[in-house]
């Protein structure tokens, strides 16, 4: 059985770095499941993926969510709004460099934070392993 992570971030570099971390987790076999990564590069595509997840049998286990996401119309949308609009209750971690979001993230049920400055680091792999073992 696989664990599925949904990464919601409009920066392709973040997708690559998280992809490398997932590959490392799968190669080291440090958890009992294979890890699959789904990537949404906009708030609109994330809302659709989460709504589809709510309706289908495919289960997303963890969301990695950027704090600020661009919409199709070019305006910015907060990551929390994606969760609110999709109606999901999936555990999520915020990926952010903005310390101002911590209190609000906690009020929205955020399980933890990953600083963007640490994405190319082994800390990301350890943080993902911990998150996947808890869920």
What is the structure's pLDDT at 63? 92
Element (DSSP H or E) covering residue 77: strand 76-78
Residue 6 has pLDDT above 90, yes or no: yes
Determine the average pLDDT of the residues in 122-132. Answer: 83
CATH entry 3.10.20.90 includes domain 2-134: no
**pLDDT value, residue 5:** 94
Percent of the chain with pLDDT over 90: 18
Domain limits, the chain: 2-134
> What does the alpha-carbon distance between residue 121 and residue 124 come to, in Å, rounded to a whole number?
6
The answer to whether residues 58 and 4 touch, using CB atoms and an 8 Å cutoff, is: yes
pTM: 0.85
For residue 7, the model assigns a pLDDT of: 95
Q: How far apart are CA 79 and CA 42, in angstroms?
A: 10
Query: Under a CB-based contact definition with an 8 Å cutoff, are residues 77 and 20 in contact?
Result: no
Angle at 17 between CA 7 and CA 24, to 5 degrees: 100
pLDDT in the model for residue 120: 73
User: C-alpha angle with apex 128: 27 to 78, nearest 5 degrees?
Assistant: 135
Each residue of 38-87: pLDDT tens digit?
999 888 888 888 888 767 667 899 999 888 776 666 666 677 777 777 77
- The dihedrals phi and psi of 70, each to the nearest 5 degrees, come to -85, 140
Q: Is residue 30 classed as helix, strand or coil in its secondary structure? A: coil
């Amino acid at each position: 059985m696989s664990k599925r992570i949904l990464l919601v971030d409009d920066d392709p570099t973040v997708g690559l770095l998280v992809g490398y971390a997932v590959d490392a987790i799968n190669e080291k076999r440090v958890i009992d499941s294979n890890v699959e990564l789904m990537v949404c590069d906009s708030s609109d595509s994330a809302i659709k993926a989460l709504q589809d997840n709510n309706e289908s049998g495919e289960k997303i286990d963890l969301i990695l969510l950027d704090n600020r996401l661009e919409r199709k119309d070019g305006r910015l949308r907060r990551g929390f709004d994606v969760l609110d609009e999709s109606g999901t209750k999936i555990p999520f971690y915020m990926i952010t460099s903005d310390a101002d979001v911590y209190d609000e993230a906690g009020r929205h049920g955020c399980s933890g934070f990953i600083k963007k400055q640490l994405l190319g680091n082994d800390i990301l792999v350890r943080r993902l392993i911990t998150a996947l073992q808890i869920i």
